[in-house]
């Protein structure tokens, strides 16, 4: 008996699976908040060096606000342009006022010619009109420490990179459900602890841990829901999860607009994880497939019978018990491969290298554009929300475009859109038009990021698929770690990061033209199958698989049930962005 065939009987994507999907959507609604909280809480804040902190203006008969402005005007030097005109205050230097009282400085400016210009040795004064609290203000991340804010974002993505290894092992070892529950409770605890950070280094460590746990949640959720539905429904389920992600993107922008204190905001997005813990513990089952691999067929059968009951399907207990007692470890379609096999095939090796570069660039550009929305010259909360809005049609469109244009042309077109948009954006003045151009690029890279998952599954042979997707995921994480560091180059020139993103996207798009088209072709089982794809020896005329509609050309390479259910499909996508 084929385990996949059981979903034809109990429901491919019925009421029960839809309910579980709705339960698992909660952490996906929160995921964008965890990743992008810094985007809306590290905006540039006006600041200047603190001077005479212990002196007051009592004898000058002025208000406290006017006193602060007086201290600023007396102690802060101004930069000048080539024509000798005063341009702006120096935010990182001040006159050395040691030994000079405020009253003396106010009465005469002769002292200026005999004093040096030094750094902000007594701290900074921040303009708190736009934000009551931020990590910039609380940890003095300005001037020579301004790079630490971007470094903190890279630390978060580094945590996600580490979580890719730990979470996958945990999900396979202790189960998908237990991994979920453990990550939910610890994620909430770490998130609340982050709100009480006393230094930027403590903040970075906790953010690193948050990313590891978020990665565990994303991995366990994605794998679990895909193991509870029929293979032909995995494309649909995967994109629905991303739609929830995009909605969370927009909701977070609205919340952050009114909660300007980053510590309160951190607690606000962390505590709902406890709600996810409760509903998951009550309603979400363990993966039947995982239970079978752990020699627990009775528990797996109990879950499958419940799914059938809720979905209104009448299935005999004997049938389900028979399916669950099949030893999948002896299944003849499982072929194991190693990197040695990969190296022995130059054709497949080149495909791997090309796809690794593509995944890295996808993540680099996607997160680079997502993290820079506050610098487009419009309200940062509005631009951030729009950045989430454009992802919804992108995810929906990619399900159609891949089958109309094919994987190669669709990925090339969307990456070229992203590349051209990024390259043009710096040439446009900050404002609405730059926002439109950048959002066009965000639309393109979001589509291509989703398309490349399916394409990778179709290119890598079964014998190397697990290894291959793991490597692709690793290179994707590397791209996300680099993205915030690339944004530091805006200090050299404001448009330099966009040109780098545009050039990388265009190059990756051109290189993807060297990869074989897989539209309408069977999944490769062996390295020889992938080599055959690369040499274009097989050309299928049947229409491609679209939303689970049967493609007859797959029958030779897939195990089919009596209703045309494929054993392996295009839908084995990844949760890599979470």
Are 317 and 194 members of one domain? yes
Does 266 map to a domain?
yes
Quick one: pLDDT band at residue 2, thresholds 50, 70, 90? low
Does 374 map to a domain?
yes
Report, in this order, helix, strand and coil percent for the chain, each rounded to 5. Answer: 65, 5, 30
In the chain, % of residues over pLDDT 90: 22
Q: What is the largest CA-CA distance in the chain?
A: 98
pLDDT number for residue 575: 44
Q: Which residues of 56-95 are buried (b: 16+ CB within 10 A; e: fewer)?
A: ebeeeeeeeeebeebbbebbbeeeeeeeeeeeebbbbbbb
pLDDT number for residue 350: 87
What are the tens digits of pLDDT across the range 406-454? 888 999 999 999 999 999 998 988 888 989 999 999 999 999 988 887 7
Of 17-31, 71-85, 393-407, 452-466, highest mean pLDDT: 17-31
Does 216 map to a domain?
yes
pLDDT at 317 over 50: yes
SS3 state at 148? helix
What are the tens digits of pLDDT across the range 347-371? 888 888 999 999 999 999 999 998 8
Are 392 and 502 members of one domain? yes
Does 569 map to a domain?
no
pLDDT number for residue 338: 60
Q: In the predicted model, what is the mean pLDDT of residues 500-522? A: 88
What are the tens digits of pLDDT across the range 235-270? 678 778 888 888 888 888 888 888 888 899 999 999
Answer with the residue of higher pLDDT: 275 or 241.
275
Are 310 and 341 members of one domain? no
Are 418 and 294 members of one domain? no
For residue 98, what are the contacts with CB-CB under 8 A and spacing of at least 6?
A: none
Are 35 and 53 members of one domain? no
Q: What is the CATH number of the domain that holds 314?
A: 1.20.1250.20
Are 328 and 342 members of one domain? no
pLDDT number for residue 283: 93
Of 69-73, 94-98, 208-212, 329-333, highest mean pLDDT: 208-212
- The answer to whether the beta carbons of residues 280 and 23 sit under 8 Å apart is yes
Does 289 map to a domain?
yes
Are 395 and 506 members of one domain? yes
Q: Indicate the range of 8-22, 178-192, 311-325 predicted with least confidence.
A: 311-325
What are the tens digits of pLDDT across the range 90-127? 788 888 888 888 888 888 777 777 788 888 888 888 87
In the chain, % of residues over pLDDT 70: 83
Answer with the residue of higher pLDDT: 576 or 166.
166
pLDDT number for residue 264: 92
Q: In the predicted model, what is the mean pLDDT of residues 8-16? A: 90
Are 422 and 542 members of one domain? yes
Does 564 map to a domain?
no
Q: In the predicted model, what is the mean pLDDT of residues 297-325? A: 84
pLDDT number for residue 111: 77
What are the tens digits of pLDDT across the range 524-567? 767 777 777 776 534 433 344 333 334 433 333 333 343 444 44
- Identify how many contiguous H helices and E strands the chain contains and give both numbers: 23, 6
Does 18 map to a domain?
yes
CA-to-CA distance for 518 and 470, rounded, in angstroms? Answer: 20
* Averaged confidence pLDDT in the chain: 80
pLDDT at 307 over 70: yes
What are the tens digits of pLDDT across the range 48-87? 888 888 888 877 777 888 888 888 888 888 765 544 454 5
pLDDT number for residue 564: 40
Are 267 and 294 members of one domain? yes
Are 370 and 464 members of one domain? yes
Burial class (CB in 10 A: 0-12, 13-18, 19+), 189: middle
Structural domain of 409: 334-558
CA-to-CA distance for 482 and 489, rounded, in angstroms? Answer: 12
Count of domains for the chain: 3
CA-to-CA distance for 423 and 224, rounded, in angstroms? Answer: 40
Q: In the predicted model, what is the mean pLDDT of residues 389-395? A: 88
CA-to-CA distance for 176 and 466, rounded, in angstroms? Answer: 17
Answer with the residue of higher pLDDT: 185 or 404.
185
Does 566 map to a domain?
no
Are 322 and 242 members of one domain? yes
pLDDT number for residue 442: 93
CA-to-CA distance for 578 and 28, rounded, in angstroms? Answer: 8
Q: Is the dihedral of CA 227, 230, 232, 233 positive or negative?
A: negative
For residue 50, what are the contacts with CB-CB under 8 A and spacing of at least 6?
A: 120, 122, 123, 124, 125
What are the tens digits of pLDDT across the range 125-142? 887 665 667 888 888 888
Are 463 and 321 members of one domain? no
């Amino acid at each position: 008996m084929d385990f996949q065939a059981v979903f034809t009987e109990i429901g491919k994507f019925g009421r029960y699976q839809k309910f579980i999907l709705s339960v698992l959507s909660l952490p996906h609604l929160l995921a964008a908040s965890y990743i992008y909280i810094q985007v809306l809480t590290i905006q540039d804040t006006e600041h200047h060096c603190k001077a005479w902190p212990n002196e007051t203006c009592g004898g000058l008969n002025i208000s406290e606000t006017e006193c602060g402005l007086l201290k600023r005007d007396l102690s802060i030097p101004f930069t000048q342009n080539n024509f000798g005109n005063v341009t702006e205050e120096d935010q990182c230097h001040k006159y050395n006022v040691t030994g000079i009282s405020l009253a003396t400085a106010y009465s005469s400016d002769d002292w200026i010619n005999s004093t040096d210009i030094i750094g902000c040795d007594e701290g900074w004064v921040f303009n708190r009109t736009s934000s009551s609290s931020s990590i910039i203000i609380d940890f003095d991340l300005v001037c020579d420490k301004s790079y630490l804010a971007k470094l903190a974002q890279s630390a978060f993505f580094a945590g996600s990179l580490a979580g890719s290894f730990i979470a996958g092992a945990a999900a396979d070892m202790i189960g998908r459900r237990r991994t979920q529950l453990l990550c939910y409770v610890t994620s909430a605890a770490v998130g609340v602890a982050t709100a009480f950070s006393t230094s930027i280094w403590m903040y970075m460590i906790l953010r690193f841990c948050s990313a590891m746990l978020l990665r565990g949640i994303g991995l366990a959720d994605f794998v679990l829901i895909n193991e509870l539905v029929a293979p032909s429904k995995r494309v649909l389920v995967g994109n629905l999860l991303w739609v929830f992600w995009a909605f969370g993107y927009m909701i977070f922008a609205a919340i952050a607009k009114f909660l300007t204190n980053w510590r309160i905001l951190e607690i606000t997005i962390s505590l709902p994880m406890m709600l996810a813990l409760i509903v998951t513990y009550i309603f979400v089952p363990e993966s039947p497939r995982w239970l079978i691999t752990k020699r627990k067929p009775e528990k797996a059968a109990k879950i499958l019978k419940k799914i059938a009951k809720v979905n209104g399907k009448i299935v005999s207990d004997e049938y389900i018990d028979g399916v669950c007692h099949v030893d999948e470890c002896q299944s003849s379609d499982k072929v194991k491969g190693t990197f040695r096999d990969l190296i022995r095939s130059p054709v497949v090796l080149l495909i791997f290298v090309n796809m690794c570069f593509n995944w890295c660039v996808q993540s680099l550009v996607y997160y680079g554009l997502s993290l820079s929305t506050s610098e487009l010259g419009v309200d940062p909360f509005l631009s951030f929300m729009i950045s989430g809005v454009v992802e919804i049609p992108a995810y929906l469109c990619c399900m159609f475009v891949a089958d109309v244009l094919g994987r190669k042309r669709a990925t090339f077109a969307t990456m070229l859109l992203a590349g051209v948009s990024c390259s043009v954006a710096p040439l446009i003045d900050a404002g609405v038009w730059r926002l439109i151009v950048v959002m066009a690029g965000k639309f393109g890279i979001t589509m291509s990021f989703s398309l490349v998952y399916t394409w990778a599954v179709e290119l890598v042979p079964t014998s190397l698929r697990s290894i291959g997707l793991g490597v692709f995921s690793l290179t994707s994480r590397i791209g996300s770690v680099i993205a915030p560091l690339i944004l530091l180059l805006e200090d050299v020139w404001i448009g330099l990061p966009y040109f780098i993103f545009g050039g990388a996207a265009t190059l990756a798009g051109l290189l993807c033209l060297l990869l074989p088209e897989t539209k309408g072709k069977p999944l490769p089982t062996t390295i020889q199958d992938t080599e055959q794809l690369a040499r274009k020896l097989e050309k299928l005329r049947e229409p491609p698989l679209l939303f689970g509609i049967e493609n007859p050309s797959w029958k030779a390479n897939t195990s089919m049930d009596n209703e045309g259910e494929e054993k392996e499909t295009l839908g084995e996508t990844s949760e890599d962005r979470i």
